[in-house]
């Protein structure tokens, strides 16, 4: 059986086994990723990193989890207790559910049954991943709102605006994959890359997706919801103990999710690299594809860690402007171009001269658009008070004089006898 016909035939107990295995793998992967991030960033910053608990500090993440479990669980007095408790659960469940349609390998023999190394699949599996990832935003927004804290509310709103904005660019980057694969099923997209990975033909989509996935997961340099300077800890400022651990777990699982999705859609999924398949015919058979799949996923996770240890945090307005004014327009233009090229290919293709003319026209349009001068805002008149306002900045009313009431020139008089 091939394609979607492989799914829906497993006994219930085998589906339960695969679901438990995915859960265990994600938890262990989170523990490893936390340790790995600390070790890599410590090496980049010339520090030692975790080295006490277990060999090379491998049990440090487990020790931190036990510490969180035994910490006092504090609920703020102003919090909406029901929503406050449910919010981290929503974020964690959404993070786990997205892995249900990720293919880990081909069809194998498991406990005497032939089954694919994938829990399930559907004709719109990639849209399912995007939809469930969007549900995780509710956990963040509700967590910030229900905490009863202004800082948490601002962090939740900032995080939701950030994730929604970059999901648009991410979705547009995936449209070109659907056009080339002819399907939204994750297993069929992997099968369509048997001869050539999509990262070669769709390199701009891959770059857009990688940038968007960093913004989607709130990781540095796009970790604006947790900017310490103005928001303390972001949407989870008021959380502690296991509730904070659930938010932490969801963040690292989301890192693995977007990395696994990038592997599936652009890097051939569980298929071995090109050179390996030429040297070893059985590289894509049995359980060996698990090695190739997780190897690619770890490369993306290392990218997350490398960016965190290398780049400074962006300003929020710069970050949002980059998403709406750069990523989304470029993604839209690239989708339109890929759609035209794909349609031409399906109708018989063009000759070399025609392709060169088409490429020249597209390049000329791109150069013209890039060199259109940006319209500068006109300088504003100085506001009352004599202070000059920089072009493009918000007008600020003058500060009242010391002891004055809202700009009044007469000082306040406090009568001690009336107190």
DSSP string, 398-417: PPPPTTBSTT-SSBP---GG
What is the rounded CA–CA span in Å between residue 100 and residue 108?
Answer: 17
What is the rounded CA–CA span in Å between residue 133 and residue 256?
Answer: 12
- Alpha-carbon radius of gyration of the chain: 26
Decide if 122 contacts 101 (C-beta within 8 A).
yes
What is the rounded CA–CA span in Å between residue 211 and residue 262?
Answer: 11
Give the start-end residues of each E strand in 167-302: none
Is the per-residue pLDDT at 400 higher than 70?
no
What is the rounded CA–CA span in Å between residue 31 and residue 39?
Answer: 13
If 0-12 CB within 10 Å is exposed, 13-18 middle and 19+ buried, where does residue 156 land? buried
Q: Which pLDDT score, from 0 to 100, does residue 89 have?
A: 92
CA triplet 301, 189, 32: central angle to 5 degrees? Answer: 20
Give the distance from CA 47 to its chain's centroid.
28
Among 63, 25, 68, residue whose Cα is nearest residue 248: 68
Among 182, 172, 183, 179, residue whose Cα is nearest residue 208: 172
What distances in angstroms separate CA 235 from CA 68, 82, 115, 133, 157, one per listed residue?
18, 17, 41, 17, 8
Higher-pLDDT residue of 238, 372: 238
Total residues belonging to the chain: 419
What is the rounded CA–CA span in Å between residue 183 and residue 190?
Answer: 10
Higher-pLDDT residue of 392, 186: 186
Compute how many other C-beta atoms are within 10 angstroms of the C-beta atom of residue 209. 27
What is the rounded CA–CA span in Å between residue 275 and residue 371?
Answer: 42
What is the rounded CA–CA span in Å between residue 33 and residue 252?
Answer: 8
Is the per-residue pLDDT at 390 higher than 70?
no
Q: Could you tell me the pLDDT band of residue 261, with boundaries at 50, 70 and 90?
A: very high
Q: Where are the domains of the chain?
A: 74-273+284-342
Greatest pairwise CA separation for the chain in angstroms: 95
Q: Which pLDDT score, from 0 to 100, does residue 156 have?
A: 84
What distances in angstroms separate CA 120 from CA 23, 39, 116, 240, 253, one per listed residue?
14, 35, 9, 35, 19
Across the range 311-340, mean pLDDT stands at 86
Q: Which pLDDT score, from 0 to 100, does residue 292 have?
A: 92
What is the rounded CA–CA span in Å between residue 214 and residue 174?
Answer: 15
What is the rounded CA–CA span in Å between residue 133 and residue 146?
Answer: 21
Kindly report, residue by residue over 93-128, the tens digit of the pLDDT.
998 998 999 999 888 888 888 888 888 888 899 999
Q: Which pLDDT score, from 0 to 100, does residue 114 have?
A: 87
Is the per-residue pLDDT at 407 higher than 80?
no
Higher-pLDDT residue of 282, 246: 246
Is the per-residue pLDDT at 210 higher than 80?
yes
What is the rounded CA–CA span in Å between residue 236 and residue 88?
Answer: 9
> Could you give the percent of the chain with pLDDT greater than 90?
23
Structure tokens at 238: 């008021």
What is the rounded CA–CA span in Å between residue 353 and residue 240?
Answer: 64
Among 322, 353, 70, 360, residue whose Cα is nearest residue 212: 322
Is the per-residue pLDDT at 391 higher than 70?
no
Q: Which pLDDT score, from 0 to 100, does residue 22 have?
A: 93
């Amino acid at each position: 059986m091939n394609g979607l016909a492989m799914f829906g035939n497993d006994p219930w107990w085998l589906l339960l086994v695969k679901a438990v295995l995915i859960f265990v793998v994600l938890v262990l992967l989170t523990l490893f990723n936390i340790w790995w991030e600390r070790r890599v960033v410590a090496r980049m910053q010339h520090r030692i990193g975790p080295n006490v608990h277990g060999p090379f500090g491998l049990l440090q993440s487990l020790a931190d989890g036990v510490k969180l479990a035994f910490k006092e669980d504090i609920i703020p007095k102003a919090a909406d207790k029901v929503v406050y408790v449910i919010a981290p659960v929503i974020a964690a469940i959404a993070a786990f559910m997205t892995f249900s349609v990720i293919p880990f390998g081909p069809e194998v023999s498991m406990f005497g049954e032939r089954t694919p190394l994938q829990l399930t699949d559907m004709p719109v599996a990639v849209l399912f991943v995007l939809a469930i990832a969007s549900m995780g935003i509710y956990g963040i927004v509700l967590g910030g709102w229900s905490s009863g804290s202004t800082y948490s509310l601002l962090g939740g709103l900032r995080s939701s605006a950030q994730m929604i904005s970059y999901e648009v660019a991410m979705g547009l980057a995936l449209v070109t994959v659907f056009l080339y694969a002819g399907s939204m099923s994750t297993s069929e997209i992997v099968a369509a890359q048997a001869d050539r990975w999509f990262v070669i033909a769709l390199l701009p989509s891959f770059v857009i997706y990688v940038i968007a996935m960093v913004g989607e997961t709130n990781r540095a340099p796009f970790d604006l919801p947790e900017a310490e300077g103005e928001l303390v800890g972001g949407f989870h400022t008021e959380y502690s103990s296991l509730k904070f651990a659930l938010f932490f777990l969801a963040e690292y699982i989301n890192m693995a999710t977007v990395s696994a999705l990038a592997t599936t859609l652009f890097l051939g999924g569980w298929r071995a690299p090109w050179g390996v398949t030429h040297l070893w015919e059985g590289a894509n058979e049995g359980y060996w594809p698990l090695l190739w799949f997780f190897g690619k996923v770890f490369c993306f996770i290392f990218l997350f860690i490398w960016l965190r240890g290398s780049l400074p945090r962006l300003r929020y307005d710069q970050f949002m402007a980059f998403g709406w004014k750069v990523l989304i327009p470029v993604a839209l233009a690239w989708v339109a171009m890929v759609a035209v090229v794909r349609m031409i290919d399906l109708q018989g293709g063009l000759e070399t001269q025609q392709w060169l003319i088409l490429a020249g026209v597209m390049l000329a349009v791109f150069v013209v658009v890039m060199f259109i001068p940006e319209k500068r805002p006109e300088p504003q008149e100085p506001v009352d008070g004599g202070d000059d306002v920089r072009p493009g900045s918000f007008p600020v009313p003058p500060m009242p004089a010391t002891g004055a009431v809202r700009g009044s020139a007469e000082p306040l008089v406090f009568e001690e006898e009336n107190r």
